């Protein structure tokens, strides 16, 4: 195992335990909605980085000729192969050393992965390396600058300052670390790496057990559709989605 790996999902049924066994239909629909808005409609080679069992594959299967699902967990990749068969190719490995050639992919996405990454800049450099000039990367980032986190900090219930750019490491969630990032910090990494930012979306804006009980999933999803773009400038949502492009040479 790489010393930099934060979460090892080998032997864990992420599909059944985390998604199907919990009330996360709203979050799933919010992710799908954002991906449909940001991914190119036509690609040759595409990779879902940290794609696990292929939860979001329905959003890109018809968009690319060749599809890879990359993950550290062989358990998750085996499930993906059982579900999608020859429609995909799986690759296992270390995200800091991706098993793709330089400039190989026309497009990629990385969703619900950054909170596991101790060395985010290095991971972003790898994504940039494997993407073709002109290629598009859709990256979701776990945001430390949310309204609930601001409220907890201001009222003294949390020592994590959501206003500074320091990486937040929530060890009470995971003993190995659970990372959240300030949008400005992440956007500086993108710029330093060479990515050009094309679009930003605010995603899972209504991620709350209370709101789910009051409004129900279908209504929250309708509200989410409008909120994703309207609230993007303030960067307050739990997930911030970025559409990035690697410049042409």
Q: What pLDDT sits at residue 213?
A: 87
Q: What pLDDT sits at residue 172?
A: 59
Give CA separation, 201 vs 48, 156, 192, in Å. Answer: 19, 30, 21
Judge whether residue 50 has pLDDT over 90: yes
Read off the pLDDT of residues 8-40 as tens digits, 9 standing for 90 and up. Answer: 666 666 666 666 666 789 999 999 999 999 999
CA neighbor of 230 nearest in space, from 198, 203, 194: 203
Q: What pLDDT sits at residue 1?
A: 35
What's the CATH number of domain 14-244, 3.40.50.150, 3.60.20.10, 3.30.565.10, 3.30.470.10? 3.40.50.150
Judge whether residue 125 has pLDDT over 70: yes
Tell me the C-alpha distance between 47 and 130, whole Å.
10
Burial of 226 (0-12, 13-18, 19+ CB in 10 A): exposed
pTM score: 0.92
Q: What pLDDT sits at residue 173?
A: 53
Tell me the C-alpha distance between 147 and 162, whole Å.
9
Higher pLDDT, 7 or 32: 32
Tell me the C-alpha distance between 128 and 45, whole Å.
15
Read off the pLDDT of residues 126-155 as tens digits, 9 standing for 90 and up. Answer: 999 999 999 999 999 999 999 999 999 999
What integer is the mean pLDDT of 186-197? 98
Judge whether residue 177 has pLDDT over 70: no
Please provide residue 226's backbone torsions phi and psi, each rounded to the nearest 5 degrees.
-80, -40
């Amino acid at each position: 195992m790489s010393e930099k790996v934060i979460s090892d999902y080998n032997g864990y049924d992420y599909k059944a335990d985390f998604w199907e066994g919990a009330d996360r239909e709203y979050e799933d629909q919010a992710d799908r909605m954002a991906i449909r808005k940001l991914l190119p409609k036509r690609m040759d080679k595409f990779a879902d980085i940290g794609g696990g069992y292929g939860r979001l594959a329905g959003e890109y299967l018809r968009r690319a000729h060749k599809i890879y699902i990359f993950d550290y967990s062989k358990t998750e990749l085996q499930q993906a192969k059982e579900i999608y068969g020859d429609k995909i190719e799986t690759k296992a490995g270390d995200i800091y050393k991706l098993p793709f050639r330089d400039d190989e992919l026309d497009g990629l996405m990385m969703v619900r992965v950054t909170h596991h990454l101790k060395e985010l800049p290095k991971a972003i450099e790898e994504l940039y390396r494997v993407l073709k000039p002109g290629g598009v990367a859709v990256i979701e980032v776990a945001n430390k600058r949310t309204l609930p986190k601001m409220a907890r900090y201001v009222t003294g219930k949390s020592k994590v300052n959501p206003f500074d750019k320091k990486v937040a490491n929530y060890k009470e969630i995971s003993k190995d670390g659970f990372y959240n990032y300030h949008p400005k910090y992440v956007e500086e990494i993108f710029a330093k790496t060479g990515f050009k930012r094309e679009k930003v979306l605010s995603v899972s804006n209504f991620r709350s057990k209370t709101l789910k009980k009051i409004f129900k999933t279908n209504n929250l999803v309708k509200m989410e559709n409008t909120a994703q773009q309207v609230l993007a400038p303030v960067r307050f949502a739990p997930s911030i989605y970025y559409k990035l492009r690697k410049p042409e040479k």
